Amino acid sequence: MYEVQRLPGCSQAPSSCLIRFLLRRAGLWPVGVDGFVLDLTFGRGKFYEAWPFRPRIIAYDIRRLDWIVRPSRFVKAPAWAAYHHVRDGSLRDPVELVVVDPPWQDCRRGNGCTRRVGDRWFYRTSRMVGTPEMVLESAARVSRLLGVPLLVHFRDRWVPGGFRVLVEVYWRPSLPRASREYRSWWGLLQGLRGGDG
């Protein structure tokens, strides 16, 4: 990750640069030019901050935040709603990539259950948006239904049945002042032919 953070324009937006790197490695860059990126947990749009162009984005999230990158369209709904919108035909736009980055609770190795939600504190199972795993499963179903790749950011490696890994990387940011180890997984997945999950 240190190599990514050293690239021009990447020190302040390393996750955005990492996405570009993964898409390039998989031969999918640029994305969101001819079609749309369907981001199911949009947040503030920081994944697209360091891209040299503004992709067309359909953003789903349960609350609108102050955007870093403005999406082409925002849908105030949980991730699983996108599956129903694709199935019933109300989401007709050509999608090139599905993106999901669910906030998660990390209770491993004595981390004291630090919740990685940042400004998305409102993600709670009690608010009926589902657990991180449910959000991931919804994204996999949407990806498979559309027949497009799925970009996942999660604390652990997560590859659902019927998917293969195109590119993956464990991300360990260079944060010398960090009070704890921070490590997560990025994967670019492709659903195998057949079914909608």
Q: Identify which of 128, 110, 120, 119 has the alpha carbon closest to the alpha carbon of residue 180.
A: 110
Report the mean per-residue pLDDT for the chain. 83
Average pLDDT over residues 166-176: 76
Determine the pLDDT at residue 141. 97
Interior angle at CA 60, CA 94 and CA 24, nearest 5: 55
Contact status, residue 39 vs residue 71, Cβ threshold 8 Å: yes
Is pLDDT of 115 > 50?
no
Does residue 11 register a pLDDT over 80? no
CB contact at 8 A, 185 and 155: yes
The topology under which CATH files domain 2-191 is: Rossmann fold (3.40.50)
Calculate the alpha carbon distances from 38 to 55, 83, 193 in Å: 10, 11, 20
Quote the pTM value.
0.85
